Amino acid sequence: MAEASSLTSTIDRHFLECVICSDTFNDPRALPCMHPFCCECLERWAKSCSDDNSIVSCPLCKKIYRIPEEEGIKGFPVHFLVTNLQDTVYRAKQEKSSADYCENHEGKKREYFCENCGCAACSDCCALDPSHRGHSFIRLKQASERLSSSLENIARRVGNIEDKYTTAIQQTQQVKQNLDQDTDTKIQAIDEARNEHMQQVDNLVRAYKHNAYSKKEQNVKTIGTD
C-alpha cells in the first residue's frame, strides 16, 4: 500500500501537474507536440503569444502552432493519456483511503493500535470487539512514532556493533603486526647466532689446519736433519 501511494503521488507530481498553473490538470488539452496544459491556461497563454490570437507557442518546447480558427484552443484535442492517468490515480487514492476504515465497523476509521494483537483498530473494535477484550490500545500515530524511534534505536545499535567490530579488527591487526615484528627479531637473532657460530667453526678449522701444517713441517724438518 505504501508503494502504491508513493507511486501515485510521484505520478501526481510529475505527470498530472500543469506547468502554467502548477495545479492538477483541468480539462487537459494536447498540443501537436503532445505536451499537456489546462484548456484555460493555454487560452490565457495564447493571448500573450500573438495579438490576433492566431498562433500559440508550446510553453515547454517552444514549438509554434496555428490555433484552430473556429474553436480556438478548444479545437486542440483532449489529452486522453492525461485524463486516463488522472482516473487511475484517483481510483488508487480512493482504494487507499478505504483501507483506513475498519472492515468490521462501517464508517469507523482505524485510529488505534492494539498492542497485544499488533494491529490497527477502530474505536468500536477497542470498546466492543470481544477478541480485543483486556487488550491495551494506543493511538495509531503514537504507535508509528514509537516504531520509527525503535527503528532508529536499532540503527544506532547496529552502528555501535560496527564500531566495536572495527576496533576488534584494528586490535587483531596490531597483534599480528607485533607478532610479525617479533618473528623478524627472532629470525635476525638466529641469523646472528648462526654467523657467530660459523665464525667460531671457521676459526677452529683454521686453527686445526694450522696445527696440522706446523706438525707436518716439524716432521719434515726432523726427517731432514737425520
Q: What residues line the site for Zn ion (CB under 5 A)? A: 18, 20-21, 33, 35, 38, 41, 58, 60-61, 102, 104-105, 114, 116-117, 122, 124-125, 132, 135
Instruction: Give the integer Cα–Cα distance in Å for 114 and 125.
Output: 9
* Least gap, CB of 118 to Zn ion (angstroms): 8
CB 49 within 8 A of CB 56: yes
**Residue (60 or 78) nearer to Zn ion, CB:** 60
In whole angstroms, the minimum distance from the beta carbon of 56 to Zn ion comes to 10
Least distance to Zn ion, CB of residue 141, Å = 17
Least distance from Zn ion to the Cβ atom of residue 13, Å: 15
Q: Which of 90, 112, 109, 89 is nearest to 100 (CA)?
A: 109
Pick the closer one to Zn ion by CB: 79 or 132: 132
Instruction: Report in angstroms how near the CB of residue 46 gets to Zn ion at its nearest.
Output: 13
> To which residue does cell 607478532 refer?
179
Looking at beta carbons only, is 20 or 92 nearer to Zn ion? 20
DSSP codes, 35-91: -EEEHHHHHHHHHTT-TTS-EEE-TTT--EEEPPTTTGGGGSPB-HHHHHHHHHHHH
Report helix, strand or coil for 143.
helix
The residue type found at 135 is H
Compare residues 67 and 122 and give the one whose CB is closer to Zn ion: 122
Q: Which is nearer to Zn ion, 8 or 137 (CB)?
A: 137
